[in-house]
């Protein structure tokens, strides 16, 4: 789906027309530059490669410098391909936050915050044993049984256990666009999106 690359600025709250306070996330969406145009004849599919967030040319490889020179733009930190743009764009064109309209719904994907190694209560939402009598004193947040002993004499794959949590690609769907601020390239959506502050996110229609 068509969309833009953005950067999560942070969260705030706004009041809707009924006076209800709603939590919102502010995203710096664009401006994104078309750095490559994929065509069916050459690539086998149609898509636009967009670049976002300038970086110094000395931090780009020779191949990257040549790639961005074709689009007549500065080197970019983030490149993402999008399909199904309704409008037609050429190499070097700029797409702004005005690509979105207030009231429509978007999907936002990004890398969630890393939580490190966590137990089953935090990682999977286990309730814990909950019993503190009969000699038990330190097993309140334990996972419980993970399998029988004699048969099958092993732990099945996919068993929910403690481990690395977060730092995964997450997509949040159907977030309503509350406000579009073109002069500051800001997009305000209802609800929360994955990632820390200043993390890159992908906003799709």
16 and 61 in a single domain? The answer is yes
Same domain, 113 and 125: no
Average confidence (pLDDT) over 33-62: 92
CATH code for the domain in which residue 52 is found: 2.40.30.10
Number of domains composing the chain: 2
Say if residue 132 is in the same domain as residue 184.
no
Q: Are residues 107 and 123 in the same domain?
A: no
Q: Which 8-state DSSP code applies to residue 57? A: G
Q: What is the DSSP letter of 192?
A: -
pTM for the complete prediction? 0.84
Same domain, 91 and 175: yes
Mean pLDDT of 52-81: 92
Q: Which residues face 181 on adjacent strands?
A: 186
Q: How confident is the model at residue 95 (pLDDT cuts 50, 70, 90)?
A: very high
Would you list the DSSP string of 73-117? Answer: ---EEEEEEE---SS---TT-EE-GGGS-TT-EEEEEEEPPP-EE
Residue 30's pLDDT band (boundaries 50, 70, 90)? Answer: confident
3-15 and 94-95 strand pairing: unpaired
Summarised one tens digit per residue, pLDDT across range 70-84 is 999 999 999 999 998
Domain of residue 160, residue span: 118-165
69 and 160, same domain (yes or no): no
Q: CB-hemisphere CA count at 13 Å for 63?
A: 0
pLDDT at 158 over 80: yes
pLDDT attached to residue 198: 95
Instruction: Tell me: do 65 and 46 sit in the same domain.
Output: yes
* Same-domain check for residues 123 and 52: no
């Amino acid at each position: 789906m068509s969309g833009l690359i953005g950067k999560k600025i942070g969260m705030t709250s706004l009041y809707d027309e009924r006076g209800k306070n709603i939590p919102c996330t502010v995203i710096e969406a664009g401006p994104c530059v078309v750095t490559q145009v994929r065509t069916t004849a050459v690539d086998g599919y149609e898509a636009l490669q967009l670049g976002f967030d300038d970086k110094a040319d000395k931090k780009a490889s020779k191949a990257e410098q040549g790639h961005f020179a074709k689009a007549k733009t500065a080197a970019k930190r983030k490149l993402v391909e999008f399909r199904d743009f309704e409008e037609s764009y050429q190499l070097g064109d700029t797409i702004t936050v005005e690509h979105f309209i207030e009231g429509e719904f978007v999907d936002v994907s990004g890398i969630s915050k890393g939580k490190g190694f966590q137990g089953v209560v935090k990682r999977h939402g286990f309730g814990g044993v909950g019993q503190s009598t009969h000699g038990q004193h330190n097993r309140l947040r334990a996972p419980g049984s993970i399998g029988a002993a004699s048969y099958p004499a092993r732990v099945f794959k996919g068993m929910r256990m403690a481990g690395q949590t977060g730092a995964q690609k997450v997509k949040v769907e159907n977030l309503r666009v509350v406000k579009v601020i073109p002069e500051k390239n800001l997009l305000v959506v209802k609800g929360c999106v994955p990632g820390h502050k200043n993390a890159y996110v992908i906003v799709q229609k």
